[in-house]
Copies of this chain bind each other. A is one copy, B any other.
């Protein structure tokens, strides 16, 4: 057993917070950007929460927040930056490494080879 093999201290703390993960996933899926209102609905966040997290994400250049006027009404549009997209992709790879770790035994009935009893002491015949 190698040392520190379960250290997850490298997980990106900015993106790991569920509310922010929610925001960046929505923006990643919508490269042209979303309005504040759309984002609020998609992520099920309050105005205050969304503002607070956007400020944090903007501060680290993950998103770009633009304000303009449409029919004299203020509109806020949020889009992910190129750096933000790359950072999110790295974060997703970190999550993937966790869920794909051998120890976590992803869906053994599908991925385990026939005859391989697995490493986690699953009861034989359990599946």
Copies of the chain in the assembly: 2
**Least Cβ–Cβ distance between A18 and chain B, in angstroms:** 4
**Least Cβ–Cβ distance between A81 and chain B, in angstroms:** 15
Interface majority SS (helix, strand, loop, mixed), chain A: helix
**Interface magnitude class on chain A:** 35 or more
Q: Is B4 a contact partner of A44 (Cβ separation < 8 A)?
A: yes
Within 8 A of B (CB), among A39-68: 41-45
- Which residues of A does B touch, CB under 8 Å? 1, 3-9, 11, 13, 16, 18-19, 21-23, 25-26, 28-29, 31, 41-45, 92, 95-96, 98-99, 101, 103-104, 106, 119-121
Given B4, B8, B28, B104, which contacts A92 in the complex, CB threshold below 8 Å? B104
